[in-house]
Amino acid sequence: ATKSLLGELNGGGASRPHVMFIPSAGMGHLLPFFRFIASLARHDDDVDISVVTVLPTVSAAEADHFSGLFAAFPRVRRVDFPSHDRDPFIVRWEALRRSAHLIGPLIAGAAPRVSAVITDVTLTSHVIPIAKKLGVQCHVLFISCATIKKAEQGPGAGVGAVDIPGVRRIPESCLPQPLLDLNKQFTKQFIDNGRENINADGILVNTFDALEPAALAALRDGKVVPGFPFPPVYAIGPLRSVVDKEDSSSSSPVVAWLDKQPARSVVYVAFGNRSAVSHAHIREIAAGLEASGCRFLWVLKTTKVDRDDTAELTDVLGEGFLERLHQQQGQGQGQHGMVTKEWVDQEALLKHASVGLYLSHSGWNSVTEAAAAGVPLLAWPRGGDHRVNHWSWDGEDWLVTGEEIAEKVKEVMSDAAVRARATRTGEEAAMAVAEGGTSYRSMQQFVSSLKKAT
């Protein structure tokens, strides 16, 4: 409806100007951009407008305002910044890496003098060279299992198969998809970090000898990179919580609910802290849990970043589901269920006597917590490298039906052999970290290596 000022000025003959906005981040920067873009769009519809949108945004408010702008002005083109990873956690790693040059002075200036640095596997290619230059030991705390992977350059441009010496060879088709593209920054960093690992002074792994004997033996036997000595591998897990808590969480409604359930009767359902579950899957899980006839405690997250998770349980699950749970509870019927969106103390919950099974995305921390608690784990690998364990890759989100979920849950809940194995794993975990155990001794060796270097 607006008049074309430019059209008038140019006598109608000139070509349409196209303005591309490249805003920065922060609401204080974005709001004036959004407002100016709106003002220009209202002023003259003979100007083409594009807005470069860096994904992900830093805050939920930014995301909302971007959506608001594009909704209000459909003709304003949205140009997604292509080189950026959408995953906010990867963006944070990137930011850390780009500031890596500041780590040297930080280490050098610390008092008392730093004798060793311990870093994350996503940062090794930057941190290890800096530590070496300063004559400081550098160890890697590996947050996943002991199956540290060795990437081989395959024929052509691909990554090729990945050999896990002493364990198995994973064909390229089973690797996480983001790792197949060697041009991706993430893949390059992943490979750089992998190569740098052999220069570490030690690798600390959250595992224990009885849990991964083959992988640990292979790592210690120098089979990983033939001809190169692999750093000492310290299996120091399962790592336990920061505070020793006897009943620090007993006041929570979740624990109060668990207290009322019979021993080993509850299926604990959780998919880690950053695995968003699609709404379609949530409905299948709900149907599956209901059909299994088992009691369940479901920690439900619908987004990757908790602050983005504003969905109401009733909207996600449907009124009927929650109503039926409450009714059953009221009538004292067999099945009781609880769904929460809160952050729970999962490590403590898994140790609760009422928990009989963990339906898990099998993130490594969760696996070690289940192992320590002696709770059987029904693995549902969902993303990242989790599906390497699965031997197949069926696209980003394939639907597992409620019937399948119910069937598997019932099967594992009633399997005495599985339960016995899980109990034994729990005992082995306790032995590993107890005085004189394998993980205890690994920790001793690690500490004495630090003392030798100081």
Q: Which residues are catalytic?
A: 29, 120
Residue 364 found at the interface with ligand UDP (CB under 6 A): yes
Q: Which stretch binds ligand UDP (CB under 6 A): 6-14, 177-185, 365-373, 408-416?
A: 365-373
Closest to ligand UDP by CB, 97 or 361: 361
From 197, 346, 354, 442, residue interacting with ligand UDP (rule: CB under 6 A): 346
Residue 274 found at the interface with ligand UDP (CB under 6 A): yes
The string of DSSP codes covering 20-47 is EE---SSHHHHHHHHHHHHHHHHH-TTS
Spell out the alpha helix ranges (H) of 293-375: 313-317, 319-331, 346-350, 364-373
Closest to ligand UDP by CB, 25 or 79: 25
Q: Beta 162-164 vs 168-170: how paired, if at all?
A: antiparallel
Residue 28 found at the interface with ligand UDP (CB under 6 A): yes
Residue 204 found at the interface with ligand UDP (CB under 6 A): no
Nearest residue to 73 via CA among 32, 116, 44, 100: 44
Residue whose CB is nearest to ligand UDP in the complex, by number? 28
Q: Which stretch binds ligand UDP (CB under 6 A): 24-32, 73-81, 250-258, 401-409?
A: 24-32
Sheet of 168-170, strands arranged across: 150-151, 162-164, 168-170
From 199, 249, 303, 365, residue interacting with ligand UDP (rule: CB under 6 A): 365
SS3 assignment, position 218:
helix
Closest to ligand UDP by CB, 104 or 383: 383
Residues contacting ligand UDP: total by CB under 6 A: 19
Radius of gyration of the CA atoms of the chain, in A? 26
Residue 219 found at the interface with ligand UDP (CB under 6 A): no
- CA–CA dist 43, 428 (Å, integer): 72
- Give the shortest CB-348-to-ligand UDP separation in angstroms: 9
Q: Which stretch binds ligand UDP (CB under 6 A): 43-51, 81-89, 254-262, 342-350?
A: 342-350
From 344, 379, 430, 443, residue interacting with ligand UDP (rule: CB under 6 A): 344
Closest to ligand UDP by CB, 187 or 365: 365
From 290, 347, 385, 428, residue interacting with ligand UDP (rule: CB under 6 A): 347
- CA–CA dist 90, 114 (Å, integer): 28
Residue 389 found at the interface with ligand UDP (CB under 6 A): no
Residue 354 found at the interface with ligand UDP (CB under 6 A): no
- CA–CA dist 67, 111 (Å, integer): 48
What is the torsion angle, in degrees rounded to the nearest 10, for the CA atoms of residue 114, residue 118, residue 121 and residue 122? -50
SS3 assignment, position 161:
coil
Closest to ligand UDP by CB, 4 or 340: 340
Query: Are 94 and 54 within 8 A, CB to CB?
Result: no
Residue 268 found at the interface with ligand UDP (CB under 6 A): no
- CA–CA dist 221, 137 (Å, integer): 22
The residue type at 448: S
Q: From residue 290 to residue 309, what is the string marking binding to ligand UDP with x (rule CB under 6 A)?
A: ---------x----------
From 201, 209, 369, 428, residue interacting with ligand UDP (rule: CB under 6 A): 369
- Give the shortest CB-344-to-ligand UDP separation in angstroms: 4
Closest to ligand UDP by CB, 230 or 298: 298
Q: Which stretch binds ligand UDP (CB under 6 A): 43-51, 165-173, 269-277, 311-319?
A: 269-277
Sheet of 355-360, strands arranged across: 337-340, 295-299, 266-270, 355-360, 377-379
- Give the shortest CB-65-to-ligand UDP separation in angstroms: 9
Structure tokens at 431: 């032995």
Q: What are the CA-CA distances from residue 311 to residues 298, 318, 340 (Å)?
A: 15, 12, 12
- CA–CA dist 374, 19 (Å, integer): 61
Q: Which stretch binds ligand UDP (CB under 6 A): 41-49, 96-104, 243-251, 362-370?
A: 362-370
- The footprint of ligand UDP (CB under 6 A) covers 26-28, 31, 272-275, 299, 343-347, 363-366, 369
